[in-house]
Structure 1
Amino acid sequence: MQRWIWDQGWTSLHDAQEQAIGPILDGDRDVIISAATAAGKTEAAFLPICSTIATQTDETAAPSVDPWTSHDPWAEPTAPALTGIQVLYLSPLKALINDQYDRLDQLCDTAHVAVHRWHGDVAGDAKKKALTNPSGVLLITPESLEALFVNRGTEVPNLLARLQYVVVDELHSFLSTPRGAQLQSLLNRVELALRRRPPRIGLSATLGDMQAAAAFLRPNSPDAVQLINSTSDGQEIRLQVRGYRCADPLLSQKDAAEAEAAGRPVTVEDTTDGDQLMIADHLFRTMRGADNLVFANSRRDVEIYADLLAQRCESERLPNEFFPHHGSLSRELREDVERFLKDRTRPVTVVCTSTLEMGIDIGSMTAVAQIGTPPSVAALRQRLGRSGRRDEPSTLRAYITEDELDGKSTLVDELRCGLVQTTAMVELLLEKWVEPPADPGLNLSTLIQQILSVIAQHGGATAAEIHQSLCGPGPFDRVDPQRFARLLRAMATKDLITQVSDGTLLHGRDGERAVNHYSFYAAFKTPQEWRLVANGRPLGTLPVDHPIIEGAFLIFSGRRWKITGIDAKARVIELTRAHGGKPPVFGGEGAPVGDRIRQKMVSVYEADESPPWLDRSAADLLAEGRAAWRRHDLAATPVIRAGNDTLVLPWLGDHALVTTVLALASAGIEAAREGPSLRVFDCPPDQLQAAAETLLRKQALDPLRLARELENTDIDKWDYVLDPDLSAEATAARLLDTAGARTILSLITTATPGDTARPAPSGAQRPPSRGGFNTTEFCVLDLETTGFSPRLGDRVVEIATTRVRGDGTVIDEWSTLVNPERDIGATHIHGIAAGDVLDAPTFADITGDLLQRLDGAVLTAHNLRFDRDFLTAEFDRSGHPLPPLPALCTLQLVTRLDPATASRKLAVCCARIGHPIPHEHAALHDARAAAALLLAYLPVAERAGATELHQLGCHPTNWPTAWRSAPPSGRRHERGAASNRRDDQASYVASLVARLDDTGSSDPDIVAYHDVLDRALEDRRITELEARVLNDTAVAWGLTPAQVQKAHRAYLEGLVTAALADDIITDRERADIELVARLLQTDVPGTVLRARTAGTGTDGR
């Protein structure tokens, strides 16, 4: 072994490897080795194991063939035999076994130790060799070990006669699962066959509770297990959580079908959600050319992103680097992708489910991505471990999408729970916390399998023998003789077992059929598909892997449905549409969330600082969630009236929420889990409080009674065998949290209800949002700048604010020129010359003056995104980061309320309401105009039913509780009366831009982007750098590449229309328009221009 270490070029061992040598060489205790991925756990176990085997010389006879002939199965250990497997290595994955086989064969060969592998894909000749000459190391899955007991039960003692060690890899993956219960039972049966206890060695990179893992590995003496926890996990971690807002595709499915029927091409980008396109674009730009893993939470998302990324490679004429990997793909396809990952001659990024979370050694990934909220902190840690081995940083990017808020949004939507939960999970990850294993319950399903297996192993056994061998310390220790007898009777009822006259239990007809089928060896099953039917019309199928109850609610196809009937035999769920607004973000069933994560979410809401690893969009979403939290005072008001419903936010785990739903159902009250909350339907808070008091007073939280109310409790493979009483006992032990439900009911009885329609009182100053907008104050702002993007170093040269009340009262006006500390930009546009700003204050000088005017008002601007980008950059530069202020865009307001209007330009909109602008591009005049526009459209919004700020498009809707203030300077330098605009500076394109009206879009985002194009093209130039910045601006504003292309085409068509207003296109005009087309990377066919010119009677020259 020392020679092997030398051959590897190692100069030292990892700390876990050093610590494992002594206890494993001693061979007198069980060991758990917990260390980060790629910290050498396999070598930590097998270096001392191979040393022991290589030096072992004590060889004696094997024990008796069948331990049932012995009066004492726990007799003193016998010495090892001449032949037999010496190390039993158990792995959850066949792929991991294949990978470890290659790895261990090299290591063990140095010690002249044979290595065998055994699973369903191994050839018969290799298995025969292991049986004929058993020795060395056997790599096997629990299912294949089960098959050995069933098919070769009498041979097992001889096959494992020399067994010295049992190694369980990826130990965490077995905890609290049916498969884990099967593994524990199999290990006990191995020791029963040998009549001795070889030491067990557990390996894992993700253990949240080492004591619980020890109890799993050695249930009868967990305190004796030696725990080795690596302390060398000091690797640098690079994190980013990116936020996105849902964006509908350019074409609906109906529109796409009509377009294809009309012969118009429809691309994938046209029918894909905009947020998915933006995520795919970022993945492509950051991951191309390297080896990466992208984890998605569903097979559907895997296919969507793998396809988008592969098509991107094709469109850019690059070899494809992006491939899918999930359980529904064939083994051949999965193995091809795994081979690509191991091949370091080509870059590969794999989009996968949890299939590549652990297992095969694919080497160091450059980065790992997570699309959607992670299933657990443990999964997040395991996935992060795939990146950054060998002293390289681990890189993780998470992509979280939240719904756009509108009038139908719920409080849960406003809380931005997906983003906040991800933030909480990342913070727990950084604190080195992972979930402890859950209570697996009674494991009755797995016990049924093990009973049938023991009968097959020995050709029959008595009830007492089976109970003694299976139900000692371990997975079935809560099954006493009485419950065991009831279970046997249930099995007999299903004809799985029968009893002969001497008391021996044998397989019944159905039991024999089940054991002889290859699927018997697995203790778990794939969730069965249930058909969903509404009013006799099939909606689709859904895998149901959790209990359901009539009257409950579920989310399917983006809609909320109420369950009106359940046919368990036919696996049909009858539904009817349920109203109550937009479905919550957390529709459907994901991994259950525990108490600790929910409590960490509260800490995230309560904090003021934004984590540095959130991008700007994610930080904005977090600010919106915190604003909703504070607006409704959720720290003190966990019970909220929501129209006719009541929301309860106890911030406890999902099991407690589900148990509370069942308790309320027993009192005739309908409720459903909605993210971290309970929505109680058609029940005001006072009625809910009375019901909760009654439930607590009557002590109605009997878990067995609640469990009997559930349908589809056949979750695990053999649950269908259980009678109603056993089924209720198993369900209650596995899923219900009556203590948590009691806490929630007590909270309901003592809480003072709030109201989603009323902002909670707070000392923080905030704009009002109810009872109309007459008393709401708006700070309407306008900027003049040196260019169109702060990303290019452009600066503010003039700023003005007009503070108005919703009733039309003008409270304050303020304006000043600003020294940009660089060249002045396009004087012909804003009319400001370099000499005008020599004595003007810098932006840092007026920071306090501006903050004073923004205080307590809604920041408002025409194309808010443009102005806010500049404000954010200027405030950051001055050392006073701009807090998340309530903000409203009049351009978007006009677009929403008056989508048919021909133009959203400020001057055109103001002229339409009878308020012409005396001097465009003078900040104070434009601010006054935008204020007039706002005041004209507020009554329109109120007539449309808007009573709250968020219904105007204002986000967030409350003032931050704290921020860094700055003293006002009082400095101002107003614009002079003379204008420095020079028409000879303006290009022909600028004149076209000035005449440009409708660009054919009602999308506020595209209209805002067109406004930036106006500003960019007014100097008739777009450099390559400016083009890249335009693209970055579009991405930051939520536009997809397809939307940008469409916007460019529409904009160019608008320019052509403006040029044709005089029925002539000259050579200069044609050259300018073609130049714009090149700058925007948009084709304008010459035939278009010629066709539009032909009607004028001129050739354009």
Structure 2
Amino acid sequence: MTAVDRLHPGVAHHIVNTLGWRTLRPLQEAAIEPVLAGDDALLLAPTAGGKTEAAVFPALTAMAEGAWTGISVLYLCPLRALLNNLHPRIAGYASWLGCTAGLWHGDTSATQRRRLRLERPDILLTTPESLEAMLVSTLTDPRQVFADLRMVIVDEVHAFAGDDRGWHLLAVLERLSRIAGRRVQRIGLSATVGNPGDLLHWLQGTNAAHRPGTVVAPSAPPGPTPAIDVTLDYVGGVDNAATVIAALHRGEKRLAFCDSRAQVEQLALALRAKGVRTFVSHSSLAADERRQAEQAFAEARDCVIVATATLELGVDVGDLDRVIQLDAPRTVASFLQRLGRTGRRPGTDRNTLFLATKHDTLLKAAGLLNLWLDGYVEPVVPPPRPRHIAAQQILALCLQEHRIGGGTWPSWYGDLAIFDQTTPAIVEWLVQSGHLDRDTGMLAIGPQTERRYGRRHFMELLTVFAAAPEFTVLHGRREVGSTDAIVLTMKVDGPRVIVLGGRAWKVTHIDWNRQRCYVEPTDLPGRSLWHGFLPPESWSLAQAQRRVLLGADPDVTWSNRSVQALAAVRRERADHAWAGGSVVEAREDEHRWWTWAGRRANATIAAALPKAVVDGARLDDHMVRLRRDLTAGELRHLVDAVDVERLAAPDIDERAVAGLKFGDVLPPHLAVATLAERAADPVGAAEILSAPLRWVNSP
């Protein structure tokens, strides 16, 4: 019996006769046995590797063979756009066996939600945040809705695991297992990661001690593979990038990635000014605006869609010809996702054109490409010490259960790693601060939680990711998207003009109380701006850039401009890298220690050398600022005195707690400690502190 023979006959029939597939892809075949055996599993394949079908086909078989009823399978995604994209496909597969698939997320209308409550689908597609909203809703009885749950499929699981949404996801899954009265099978779908075994173990949560786990990552089948064409160009600015994009690959469908919403808007506006048919997608656009752009792009030719990472995660935008990357993504994993959007048609290449707008980003792109060519992919590492998620989960559980025993609530989570020895102190602080009420040993939501999170049915309590307050932008009654308040408060001469959706809009009225901004189209120049911060570079990426300065050129296609620009970078920064160790550049204003260690390691170094660093200096990914009066001998003495085996966490300003979602429901000292531990890289710092050091006087 082959693996395909294990599928339900109805599923196998439709694979051949409805889809027209002669065979399954390697991942789809390899996943059948472990999924049907009931294993927790991590299914790994590049973009367009058939991961959804690899999970759904055996899930449908298990549903039919086990006569599962009610909502028996959950399909979780990190993005609403991905759910919208997948729903018709999964609903079609479910219909083969007379089953249904429903969609529930923040954009689902009240009417659709009422229908789903009355007519529960067999498969529910949703996000973890919407799932928890269902658990605490007064309109939904979770013990009825999720009583039949058997399997959870988590798409793009690596995107969850890398931040606090992953810890939130695991906690919600533990609560669902308790409600269902069984250990629910967990299937994760992921692009290539550097540590698949660790990622699977993390996804299993408390299942790991009770259910087998299998990583499914078959090798590529023999035969021709798409050629890969990667080009690195230096254009020196976003407007110049638009000129290059407008001139190249006319008649083709191009997807241009930017790593900020402001850069997306700037590039889209410049492309439209050059007559290029341009669409836009990012998180601050209204859902309808995003859907219309993505649908139009999927059906069009000779056009460009400009997007942030929202289109990195599997959303189908049709038959794509080119990927263009402004500057560089943060990780090799992101680059692989983006590269994998191309080369899907027989006879076509996988390709990416890098357009660096600055010298720094040219260096970053070259370093990242060297890592890729070395076969490196970042390990997915969940953020440490999620104490604030522990506090959020205690409050959410009280909201779900109304009252919960002060000694019995831990049974909902088992030994899940978000809880540690500090949890009792967190509970006590929640009681003392009025976030929880305690009466005869029972815990319930307190008045402070009601005041802080009670608006909009506690939705802010159920959303783990922090987002800056934004104003809704309206053209008449149509929602265009949202914009940061700062762009509405900055002083301007003349009309106030903002850029959103790749178009300029003149602000006609601002409703400060309701946080609404009314606009009309204009040809006047405008700007876009959002609060945000660049995440710290990893040790690996920072070190890769150092190696580029020392002469390591990635074996890709280089334009003449990029060759000349990199040569200029190497001349300008000749004293910033040394093959034998790190360099201190002695300058008149301050000394700069070029560690190329990443911001976390540099913060740890600064914490270890308080007498050497510039007090209050801004942290950097590549260097540490030292006092201008420091001598080489004094620095060597201070470094030699550091115990690299016991490095302290960086000092954290208490005001930084405002940037930690739910940091305000932790005891202040634990909130600061959590941030400090997350800001540290003791391993990288120890390597720099233990390596040789060269002192160079800057001319």
| Shared fold, TM over 0.5 | yes
Gaps of 5+ in 1: 58-79, 246-274, 314-319, 403-415, 530-539, 543-587, 758-1101
Partner of 2:519: none
How far 1:604 moved relative to its partner?
A: 2.8
Partner of 1:116: 102
Q: Does the alignment pair 1:485 with 2:431?
A: no
Q: Does the alignment pair 1:91 with 2:102?
A: no
Of 588, 604, 612, which residue of structure 1 is paired with 2:548? Answer: 604
Of 594, 612, 615, which residue of structure 2 is paired with 1:649? Answer: 594
Output one character per residue of 1:818-865: Cα deviation in whole Å (capped at 9) or x when no partner. xxxxxxxxxxxxxxxxxxxxxxxxxxxxxxxxxxxxxxxxxxxxxxxx
Q: 1:685 to 1:619 in 2, by over 3 A?
A: farther
Matches within 5 A, 1:581-600: 589-600=533-544
Of 442, 459, 481, which residue of structure 1 is paired with 2:402? Answer: 459
Q: Select the structure of larger CA radius of gyration.
A: 1
Report the more deviating stretch, 597-606 or 328-337.
597-606
Q: 1:665 to 1:164 in 2, by over 3 A?
A: same
Contact kept, 8 Å, 2:644 with 2:689, in 1: the verdict is no
Match for 1:394: what amino acid?
R
Match for 1:387: what amino acid?
T
Q: 1:590 to 1:732 in 2, by over 3 A?
A: same
Partner of 1:367: 322
Q: Does the alignment pair 1:751 with 2:693?
A: yes
SS of the equivalent of 1:218 reads helix
Contact kept, 8 Å, 1:240 with 1:614, in 2: the verdict is yes
Q: 1:47 to 1:228 in 2, by over 3 A?
A: same
Match for 1:506: what amino acid?
A
Partner of 1:896: none
Matches within 5 A, 1:418-567: 418-470=361-413, 472-477=414-419, 479-480=420-421, 483-500=422-439, 502-513=440-451, 514-515=453-454, 516-527=457-468
Q: 1:668 to 1:34 in 2, by over 3 A?
A: closer
Output one character per residue of 1:849-907: Cα deviation in whole Å (capped at 9) or x when no partner. xxxxxxxxxxxxxxxxxxxxxxxxxxxxxxxxxxxxxxxxxxxxxxxxxxxxxxxxxxx
Output one character per residue of 1:260-305: Cα deviation in whole Å (capped at 9) or x when no partner. xxxxxxxxxxxxxxx3332111101124422221111222221111
SS of the equivalent of 2:408 reads helix
Contact kept, 8 Å, 1:84 with 1:158, in 2: the verdict is no
How far 1:145 moved relative to its partner?
A: 0.8
How far 1:680 moved relative to its partner?
A: 1.8
SS of the equivalent of 2:78 reads coil
Instruction: Determine the C-alpha separation between the residues in 1 that align with 2:643 and 2:129.
Output: 49
Partner of 1:285: 247
Partner of 1:2: 12
Matches within 5 A, 1:338-377: 338-344=294-300, 346-377=301-332
Of 622, 625, 637, which residue of structure 2 is paired with 1:679? Answer: 625
Partner of 2:495: none
Instruction: Determine the C-alpha separation between the residues in 2 that align with 1:375 and 1:632.
Output: 22
How far 1:342 moved relative to its partner?
A: 2.1
Contact kept, 8 Å, 2:575 with 2:585, in 1: the verdict is no
Q: Does the alignment pair 1:235 with 2:220?
A: no
Instruction: Determine the C-alpha separation between the residues in 2 that align with 1:638 and 1:176.
Output: 32
Partner of 2:648: 702
Instruction: Determine the C-alpha separation between the residues in 1 that align with 2:429 and 2:59.
Output: 45
Contact kept, 8 Å, 1:105 with 1:114, in 2: the verdict is yes
Q: Does the alignment pair 1:33 with 2:43?
A: yes
Output one character per residue of 1:74-95: Cα deviation in whole Å (capped at 9) or x when no partner. xxxxxx6xx4211111111122
Output one character per residue of 1:445-472: Cα deviation in whole Å (capped at 9) or x when no partner. 22222111111211111222223323x3
Contact kept, 8 Å, 2:232 with 2:556, in 1: the verdict is no
Match for 1:194: what amino acid?
A
Instruction: Determine the C-alpha separation between the residues in 2 that align with 1:8 and 1:87.
Output: 23
SS of the equivalent of 1:369 reads strand
Contact kept, 8 Å, 2:598 with 2:620, in 1: the verdict is no
How far 1:400 moved relative to its partner?
A: 1.0
Report the more deviating stretch, 684-693 or 425-434.
684-693
Contact kept, 8 Å, 1:170 with 1:205, in 2: the verdict is yes
Q: Does the alignment pair 1:54 with 2:64?
A: yes
Q: Does the alignment pair 1:303 with 2:254?
A: no
Instruction: Determine the C-alpha separation between the residues in 2 that align with 1:725 and 1:212.
Output: 30
Instruction: Determine the C-alpha separation between the residues in 2 that align with 1:133 and 1:608.
Output: 60
Contact kept, 8 Å, 1:177 with 1:440, in 2: the verdict is yes
SS of the equivalent of 1:375 reads coil
Contact kept, 8 Å, 2:612 with 2:635, in 1: the verdict is no
Match for 2:162: what amino acid?
S
How far 1:99 moved relative to its partner?
A: 1.5
SS of the equivalent of 2:625 reads strand
Specify which structure has the bigger relative contact order, considering alpha-carbon pairs within 8 angstroms and separated by 6 or more residues: 2
Gaps of 5+ in 2: 1-10, 471-484, 488-531
Matches within 5 A, 1:736-775: 736-747=680-691, 750-757=692-699
Match for 1:329: what amino acid?
L
How far 1:508 moved relative to its partner?
A: 0.8
Match for 1:237: what amino acid?
I
Instruction: Determine the C-alpha separation between the residues in 1 that align with 2:123 and 2:100.
Output: 6
TM-score (norm 1): 0.53
Report the more deviating stretch, 369-378 or 8-17.
369-378
How far 1:353 moved relative to its partner?
A: 1.5
Match for 2:341: what amino acid?
R
Report the more deviating stretch, 28-37 or 280-289.
280-289
How far 1:622 moved relative to its partner?
A: 2.5
Matches within 5 A, 1:170-249: 170-220=156-206, 222=208, 224-232=212-220, 234-245=225-236
Output one character per residue of 1:352-399: Cα deviation in whole Å (capped at 9) or x when no partner. 112212142222311111112222222222222222223332221111
Q: 1:452 to 1:343 in 2, by over 3 A?
A: same
Contact kept, 8 Å, 2:613 with 2:627, in 1: the verdict is no
How far 1:717 moved relative to its partner?
A: 1.6
Q: 1:279 to 1:370 in 2, by over 3 A?
A: same
Q: Does the alignment pair 1:400 with 2:368?
A: no
Partner of 1:840: none
Contact kept, 8 Å, 1:663 with 1:700, in 2: the verdict is no
How far 1:349 moved relative to its partner?
A: 1.1
Match for 1:332: what amino acid?
D
Output one character per residue of 1:179-226: Cα deviation in whole Å (capped at 9) or x when no partner. 111100011111111221121110112423202211221134659321
Contact kept, 8 Å, 1:166 with 1:200, in 2: the verdict is yes
SS of the equivalent of 2:235 reads strand
Contact kept, 8 Å, 1:36 with 1:230, in 2: the verdict is no
SS of the equivalent of 2:343 reads coil
How far 1:630 moved relative to its partner?
A: 5.5
SS of the equivalent of 1:328 reads coil
How far 1:235 moved relative to its partner?
A: 3.2
Contact kept, 8 Å, 1:292 with 1:350, in 2: the verdict is yes
Partner of 2:669: 725
How far 1:746 moved relative to its partner?
A: 4.0
Contact kept, 8 Å, 2:550 with 2:578, in 1: the verdict is no
Contact kept, 8 Å, 1:95 with 1:359, in 2: the verdict is no
TM-score (norm 2): 0.82
Partner of 2:127: 141
Instruction: Determine the C-alpha separation between the residues in 2 that align with 1:375 and 1:423.
Output: 12
Match for 2:63: what amino acid?
I
Instruction: Determine the C-alpha separation between the residues in 2 that align with 1:370 and 1:621.
Output: 18
Partner of 2:560: 616
What's the C-alpha RMSD, in Å, of the aligned pairs? 2.8
Match for 1:511: what amino acid?
T
How far 1:710 moved relative to its partner?
A: 5.4
Q: 1:473 to 1:615 in 2, by over 3 A?
A: farther
Contact kept, 8 Å, 1:306 with 1:323, in 2: the verdict is yes
Instruction: Determine the C-alpha separation between the residues in 2 that align with 1:121 and 1:209.
Output: 34
Instruction: Determine the C-alpha separation between the residues in 2 that align with 1:25 and 1:281.
Output: 53
Q: 1:387 to 1:608 in 2, by over 3 A?
A: closer
